[in-house]
Structure 1
C-alpha cells in the first residue's frame, strides 16, 4: 500500500489541497472541546481520564485525515476510534458488570470477532456503504443497555440514549454521498459534531455510574 496516496471519499473534498475540506476539518474541534469540558469531572475517576484523552485524540486524527487525506492519515482517523471503543468496553465490563480485570479484558477482546462477523452482514444493507464498519457499535451498546436494565437502570437508559445518538450520527455519515448533488457541502460534518456529542455523553454515563447514579 502507498501510504501517501490520496483518499477522496467525502462530498466536500474537490481537490488534493490541505484545506479542501474546511468544514469537515474544522468541525473536528468538537471532539477536543467536549474533551476539555469533561476533563475537570474526569480526573481521578477510574478510566474516565483515558477516555477523555482518547476523545481528544479522535479529533486530532480525524483532522489529519480531512486535511492530508492520505492512507496514513486514514489510520490516524480510525485507530483512535477503535481505541476508544475497546477502552470503553473494558470500562463497562469492569465497572458496569463488576468483572475482575482479566475477565473484563477477555470480554473486551471478543469485540474483534464480533465486529468481524457483523460488518460483512451490515455491508449488505443497501446504501449503508462504509458506515457498515461502525454499524455493529450501536447494536452492541443497545445489547449492554438491555442487559443492564435491571442491575443499573439509569446506566442502561444512558446507554440506550447513546446508541440512539450514534444511529442518528451514522445516518448523517451515510447520506454524505447521496445528497452531494443537491447539497455540495455534504453531511459528514454533522457526523463529527453528533459523534463528539455522543462520545461525550457515553463518558458522562460512565462518570455517573461511578458516582453511584446507577
Structure 2
C-alpha cells in the first residue's frame, strides 16, 4: 500500500493541491463545533466525553483527507468514524437496554459480520455504491429505536431522529459525483454538516437517557 498515493474521489477536487477542496475542508468545522459543544454538555459521563473526543478526531481526520487527499489521510478519516460507531454500539447496548458489559462487548463484535453481510446489499442500490459502507449504520440505529419504543420512548424517538439525519446526509454524500456537472463544488459538504449534527445529536440522546436514568434512581 502506497500511503502517499493521491486520492481523487470528490467532485470539488480538480487537482492534487492542498486547498483543492475548500468547501469540503472547511465544513469539517461542523464536527469540531458539535464535539466541543457535546464535550461541555457531557460532564460526568465518561462515554459521552469519549464520544465527543472521537467526534473531534473525525473532524480532524476528514480535514486531513480533504486537504492532503492521500491514502494515509483517508485512513485518518475512516478510523475515528469506525471507533465512534463501535463505542456507540457498546454504550447503547449496555445503557439503553441495561445489559451487562460483556453483552455490550459482544454487540460490538457482532457489528463486524452484520456490516459485512449488509454492505454488499447496499452496494446494489443504484447510485448508493459510494456510500454503501455506511448503509448498515442508520439501519441499526432504527432497529435500536424500534426495540426501545416501549422501554424508553424518548430515547427511541431521539435515535430515530438521529438515524433520519444520517440517512439525509448519506443521500447528499451519494449525490456528489452524479451531480458534478450541475454543481461543480459537489454535495459532499452537506454530508459533513448533516453528519456533524447527527453525531452530536446521538451523543445528546445518550446524555439525556443517562440523566433520565439517574433521575429515576434518585
Corresponding residue number in structure 2 for 1:145: 145
Unaligned stretches of 5+ in structure 2?
A: none
Corresponding residue number in structure 2 for 1:160: 160
Alpha-carbon distance between aligned partners in 2 of 1:67 and 1:104, rounded to the nearest angstrom: 37
Corresponding residue number in structure 2 for 1:45: 45
Tell me how far 1:46 sits from its aligned partner.
3.5
Corresponding residue number in structure 1 for 2:197: 197
Q: TM-score, normalised by structure 2?
A: 0.96
Task: Judge which range, 36-45 or 9-18, deviates more.
Answer: 36-45
Secondary structure at the aligned position of 2:212 is classed as: coil
List aligned pairs for 1:17-166, cutoff 5 A.
Answer: 17-166=17-166
Q: Does 1:178 align with 2:182?
A: no
Q: How many equivalent residue pairs?
A: 214
Secondary structure at the aligned position of 1:179 is classed as: coil
Secondary structure at the aligned position of 2:202 is classed as: helix
Runs of 4+ residues deviating >6 angstroms = none
Tell me how far 1:103 sits from its aligned partner.
1.2
Superposition RMSD in Å: 1.0
Tell me how far 1:102 sits from its aligned partner.
1.1
Unaligned stretches of 5+ in structure 1?
A: none
What's the CA shift string for 1:22-77, capped at 9, x where partnerless? 11001101111111111121121141000000000000000000001011111101
Alpha-carbon distance between aligned partners in 2 of 1:104 and 1:46, rounded to the nearest angstrom: 16
Alpha-carbon distance between aligned partners in 2 of 1:3 and 1:110, rounded to the nearest angstrom: 30
Secondary structure at the aligned position of 1:86 is classed as: helix
Tell me how far 1:130 sits from its aligned partner.
1.4
Alpha-carbon distance between aligned partners in 2 of 1:39 and 1:127, rounded to the nearest angstrom: 36
Q: TM-score, normalised by structure 1?
A: 0.98
